[in-house]
Structure 1
Amino acid sequence: MKPGIHPEYRPVVFRDKSAGLTFLTRSTRSSDQTISWTDGQTYPVVDVEISSASHPFYTGTARVVDTAGRVEKFRRRYGSRSARPEQTDR
């Protein structure tokens, strides 16, 4: 790596605002806010809107989309048409 061109890679706390989950990881993100962690150290904290604790896919609250129902509705509405009309010789 070239010296002097990369951002500082350091421990940062990410906090999910909606679920209250906090986790410590390493990142290049910076923040003016700080938080005291369980180890007694003070780390920069970055607030996020969605994490694995609040995302519908990971929490099991995701809705299942019924694609087969959409296809049937389309066929009822427009019918099944042949893809190509028959060609006649001229």
Structure 2
Amino acid sequence: MQQDKQPDYHPVVFRDRAAGYAFLTRSTAVSDQRIEWDDGETYPVVDVEISSESHPFYTGKARTVDTEGRVARFERRYGGAAGQGTGGDAPA
């Protein structure tokens, strides 16, 4: 492996402003801002828009698609089960 080709991999604090949550991890991200962490050390801090603390998928607030309602609406509109090949409007 060639020397000096790998980026600097160091501890970084990522701060989710929406959730008020911060976590320490290792990354190649750089920042001019620094923050003092719980262990007394100072680390660069990167502000992020969304993390696992505020993302709807991870928080359980994700919208679910009403697939059953869509199927029922399709059957009402096109008359019964799909694939009958009635051709045109559904019988009344």
Bin the TM-score by the shorter chain.
0.7 to 0.9
CA distance in 1, matches of 2:30, 2:4: 17
Cα deviation, residue 81, structure 1: 4.8
What corresponds to 1:74 in structure 2?
Answer: 74
TM-score, with structure 2 as normaliser: 0.78
1:2-81 pair list within 5 angstroms:
2-79=2-79, 80-81=82-83
In 2: Cα distance, 1:3 partner to 1:60 partner:
45
Q: Which moved more, 1:30-39 or 1:64-73?
A: 64-73
- Alignment gaps of 5+ in structure 2: 88-92
TM-score, length-scaled by structure 1: 0.80
Deviation string for 1:24-64 (max 9, x for gaps)? 00001111111111111111101111111111122221222
* Structure 1: unaligned runs, 5 residues or longer: 86-90
What secondary structure, in the 3-state scheme, does the structure 2 residue paired with 1:47 have?
Answer: strand
4+ long deviations beyond 6 Å: none
RMSD: 1.8
Residues matched between the structures, number: 84
3-state SS, counterpart of residue 14 of structure 1: strand
Cα distance in 2 for partners of 1:17, 1:45 equals: 12
Q: Following TM superposition, by how much is the alpha carbon of 1:19 offset from its aligned partner in structure 2, in angstroms?
A: 0.6
